[in-house]
Every structure is written in structure tokens, then in C-alpha cells.
Amino acid sequence: MPSKILFSACLAGFHVRYNGSNKPLFDSTLQRWQREGRLVVCCPELAAGFSTPRPSAEITAAAEGATVLAQQARVMEVSGGDVTDSYLLGAHLALETARRHGCRFALLTDGSPSCGSQFIYDGSFSGQTKPGSGVTAELLRQHGIEVFSEHQLDALIARVEAVEQV
Ligand code: SF4
């Protein structure tokens, strides 16, 4: 059976980022997967009830998605609001969506406190990044879903092809 891929809504072209923008990712394989019904578009933050635009948010310093999931760190808005519970809700809703559709893979937007999988912002709201994952990406990984960022599309395609050749 063809693999399904959970796909960040902003990469799919929807204007759902905190500032109302998108990050469309164009690729012929993605277009084919879309035609084949294999992309499951999801925005964890909108699923959790946030609107667009919304204040930017970052995981507190020295922490990442795993620490938030362990209830040992918070997700804070630039305005000072604690939005940890909503980010956790968004992560669990994304996991539920992935499971419902049988997604084995996820292709998510890097840098996001939800979807980041290789880097996130460091909690200082100064534009500095650090290695690590957002809350949703980490929860998906903890449940066996292979997560790739938009910078790893070639690796995802190779992985999907390898799995489907078995
Ligand atoms: S939560 Fe994920 S899908 Fe939604 S806007 Fe942020 S990066 Fe894009």
C-alpha cells in the first residue's frame, strides 16, 4: 500500500503561519503524491484553535519539544502568554490525524515550535536558533512516525521509495 505523509499546511501553500504567510514547497514528486491522495495536510496550531495571524511563540531556553512533552518546559508567546497547553493539544491532534490516515512519514516545516524537526528558535525571540524539535515533531517521532523537514525532501523521497520496494 502506498505510504501516506503528514504534510505541514504552510508547506502545502496555505497561509496559516503565525504572521499570515505560507512556505509553499514545489516539487514534482510532491505534486504526484498530492494527485495520488498521499499527502495529509495538517496545521497543529490551527487544529488547537489558534487563528492567523497570531503572536509568535517559542519554546523556553535550553528546552525543546521533548522537554515540553515531559511537562518540564513551556511554550511562550512573545507577548508573554503561556500557550503550552494549546501546543500540546495541537501535537496530539496531529498525531491522531496521522494515525487515522495511516501516515508512516511526516514532512514538516522546520524552525516551528510545533513542526520544527532539525532546529527551533532559542526562546529569546531574537532570531537565534538551536538544534532541536518542536512539540508536534517530537510527539510524532515518539510514536514511530519518521519526520523530515522541507530541507530533507530528497531523503524523504528516497526513504518512501525504499519502503515501497520491500
Ligand atoms: S504549526 Fe506547522 S503547519 Fe501550522 S503554520 Fe506552523 S509550521 Fe506551518
Pair 134, 115: CB distance under 8 Å: yes
DSSP type of residue 151:
G
Cα three-residue angle 44-147-84, rounded to 5 degrees: 35
**How many angstroms separate the alpha carbon of residue 165 from the centre of ligand 1?**
31
Residues having CB closer than 6 A to ligand 1 are 8-10, 16-17, 43-45, 109, 112, 114-115
* pLDDT at residue 166 in the model: 77
* pLDDT at residue 119 in the model: 98
For a mutational test of ligand 1's pocket, the pick from 5, 16, 107, 119, i.e. the residue with the most ligand atoms closer than 8 A to its C-beta, is: 16
Measured CA to CA in angstroms, residue 158 lies from 4, 15, 108, 153 at distances of 14, 28, 16, 9
Pair 91, 139: CB distance under 8 Å: yes
Beta bridge partners of residue 79, listed in sequence order: none
> What would the mean pLDDT of 138-158 be, rounded to a whole number?
98
Report the predicted TM-score, pTM, of the whole model to 2 decimal places. Answer: 0.98
**How many angstroms separate the alpha carbon of residue 116 from the centre of ligand 1?**
9
Query: For 16-45, what is each residue's pLDDT tens digit?
Result: 999 999 999 999 999 999 999 999 999 999
Query: 120 pLDDT band (50/70/90 cuts)?
Result: very high
Rounded CA separation 56/47 (Å):
16
**How many angstroms separate the alpha carbon of residue 166 from the centre of ligand 1?**
32
